A and B are shown apart, each in its own frame.
Chain A
Amino acid sequence: MLIRRSVCFALLALLLVNGCKDRQITAYRALKDPAPAAMPPAMASTNAGALPEGHPPIDGRSSSQTQPAPGGMAGTAVPTAGGSGLTWTAPAAWTVKPNGSMRKGSFAIKSDSGEADLSITAFPGATGGLEANLNRWRGQVGLPPQSPTEVTAAVEKFSAHGLDFMLVDYAGGGNRLIGAIVPFGGNSWFFKLMGPDALVAGQKDAFREFLHTVKEPAP
């Protein structure tokens, strides 16, 4: 009888242990992850070159963040584009913001009614294709996705400084997104201005002028 009872108890205990298995907080000492090998060495300088001409470096933050972190998360970081960058000249009224790890350029456009955000990013290749990117942008202002023919029909195309711009303007839910996609040097560059509808609509001409200042850096 004793054997039988103890066997039953042992089983029950074993089963109950399982409940705790996924909840164990562990502590250990680990070697640091090796510095990433695949990080293009040109990245830090590219980012500095992406600042407006003559602009002082921004609070040291962008350069420190783009350097391969010692160990760190580099293995999971989204690869942004390497290679040579583009340059631009922004209106004085726009405020320069820190780039962070993903952006090549970052501005805030402020008014009494709110703040719009202009981000400049670049990623290798076609990054999923034009239609997918445009539909992603549509989703960001709450518009439903369109078929490839519909979505490309609304694209306004123009060229400046030997670059081909594809410009779109989406408004929905009180917000507006004006964006341009530029293929350059094997990468796709994204210029995205997003914010309150009235503010962004008022900045459309300024944004278009800004795009006309975007060019390849002089050699």
Chain B
Amino acid sequence: MNAVVRQFRDFFVSLQLTVVLLILSLLLVFVATLDQVNLGIWAVQAKYFRSFFVMWQVPGSNVAIPIFPGGYFIGGMLLTNLICAHVYRFAFNFKKLGIQLAHSGLILLLLGELITGLLQVDNNMRLEEGETKHYSESFRDNELAILDRTNPAYDDVVAIPEAVLADEGTIQHPKLPFVVKVKAYYANATLQMGDPAGRPGAPVATQGIGARVQVLPLALTYKPDERNLPAVFVEIIGPAGSAGTWVVSPVVGMPQTFSFEGHTWELVFRFKRTYHPFALTLLKFSHDKYPGTEIPKNFSSRVRVKSDDGRDDREVLIYMNNPLRHGGFTFYQAGFENNDKVTILQVVGNPGWLLPYIACIMMGLGLVIQFGQSLRGFIRKRTAAAAAP
């Protein structure tokens, strides 16, 4: 083994590294908790935990410099450290079973969080009584959906996430016969009626509602009960030249359609959708109160679940602590609206949801074995000492 590799190995298997990383994560959690006052929980998670480095924006510029390792960096290093130490020192014997089990549990827990971070879907589904939906919508993420509405039976959708729009670049996609050029992106904005040319500096929309409104940028909000409403100027450019510029925003309540090469297209800026291979229909929402009071007793939604392949078609009652689990997703009763005519279900899909449970069982079992062995040894010593003359 050459010297460089050995140095690497010694670094990654060392206990000092573990201690340093644990201290760093303590500091990270402390600072992030304090910063929640300013940023709210989602922005804090993104800035401190679901990132490799905590970035600091130099005031008055676009330059961001890393000032502290982020959650992914520390977690990743801890995981590497743990696995390396495991592989390096691994020697199975019964005496170490407890320790091995506890550490494997910890590795599984870290991996579980990684899988959750990568793959978890946390959406909601808003259903009016009698309404059927095939999709759920994100709470926070937006997307620009470009729909080919030509076929009367279905739409062909190309969904562009907000993060891509934020780059203000040019977007090409094999399913689109045109190029989408993002001329301006505002993370939070409002629209008001007025001449679009009345706001110098902003691009001028020529089509759809954009020709009659002005876009006013707003400061970003981090409050948990408020939502940033982005607005984007997009220009549709075909081989023959520009087809016009549109303003799209979730604020726009009307469909914006246009024709291009014989097809009808629609631009919608909406909550990011996840389509499911099954449909939910709200049959009845019930809001029971304790007799003679306004105190809620129970919220429940009677829904019909119908899978596309026809294998499943049943009615279920969703209420507190009794969610519907179907197709890898869990539907919880989360809210209601509009005089009890609309139910809001929280839709959570996490392929790694079992991992933390397994990890905790492994760690618990490992610790019980470890301490059980010590206890046995201790008792044995005492009985031996007591038996001695």
Chain A: CB-nearest residue to B252:
A73
> Contacts A31-B134, A34-B132, A73-B268 known; A25 to B80 CB distance under 8 Å?
no
Interface string of A107-146 (1 = CB under 8 A from B): 0000000010101000000000000000000001000000
Contact partners of B171 in chain A: CB under 8 A: 25
Contact, CB under 8 Å: A23 / B157: no
Residues facing A in B247-294 (CB within 8 A) are: 250, 252-255, 266, 268, 270, 275
Q: Are B155 and A25 in contact (CB under 8 A)?
A: no
Report yes or no: B149 in contact with A37, Cβ–Cβ below 8 A.
no
What residues on B are CB-neighbors of A8 within 8 Å? 12, 80, 84
A65: interface (CB < 8 Å): yes
Q: Cα distance A21–B160 when bound, in Å? A: 12
Write the nearest CB–CB distance from B70 to chain A, whole angstroms. Answer: 11
Contact, CB under 8 Å: B158 / A71: no
Taking A1-B5, A71-B149 as contacts, is the C-beta distance between A23 and B117 under 8 angstroms? no
Binding site for A on B (CB under 8 A): 1, 5, 9, 12, 50, 52, 72, 76, 79-80, 83-84, 87-88, 114, 117-118, 128, 130-132, 134-135, 141, 149, 152-161, 163-164, 171, 173-175, 192-195, 209, 212, 250, 252-255, 266, 268, 270, 275
Q: Does A161 contact B (CB under 8 A)?
A: no
Name the CB-closest residue of B to A101: B254
Residues A30 and B135 in contact in the complex (CB < 8 Å), given A17-B118, A37-B130, A77-B254: yes
| Known contacts A25-B171, A27-B156, A32-B152; 11 further A-B pairs (Cβ under 8 A) | A4-B9, A7-B83, A11-B76, A11-B79, A18-B118, A22-B161, A24-B161, A37-B130, A65-B254, A70-B152, A115-B195
Residue pair B268, A18 in contact (C-beta under 8 Å): no
Q: Which residue of A lies closest to B145 (CB)?
A: A30
Binary flags per residue of A1-45, CB closer than 8 Å to B gives 1, else 0: 101100110011011011001111111111110100110000000
For the complex of A and B, list the 7 residue pairs with the smallest distance between their C-beta atoms, beginning with the closest.
A101-B254, A77-B253, A72-B255, A27-B175, A22-B163, A27-B158, A73-B255
CA distance A37 to B268 in the complex (A): 20
Please give, as numbers and ranges, the residues of chain B lying within 8 Å of A21 by CB-CB distance: 118
Give the complex CA separation of A77 and B250 in angstroms: 10
A160 within 8 A of B: no
- The answer to whether A101 and B157 have CB atoms under 8 Å apart is no
23 contacts between A and B (CB under 8 A): A4-B9, A4-B84, A7-B80, A8-B84, A11-B79, A15-B76, A15-B114, A17-B118, A18-B118, A25-B161, A25-B171, A27-B156, A27-B159, A28-B275, A29-B156, A34-B131, A37-B128, A70-B149, A73-B253, A77-B254, A100-B254, A117-B193, A140-B192
Say whether chain A's binding surface is mostly helix, strand, loop, or mixed. mixed
Q: What is the minimal beta-carbon distance from B351 to any residue of chain A, in angstroms?
A: 14
A163 within 8 A of B: no
**B164 adjacent to A23 (CB under 8 Å):** yes
Q: Report if A93 contacts B (CB, 8 A).
A: no
On whether the beta carbons of A23 and B275 are closer than 8 Å, the reply is no
Flag whether A78 is at the interface (Cβ < 8 A).
Answer: yes
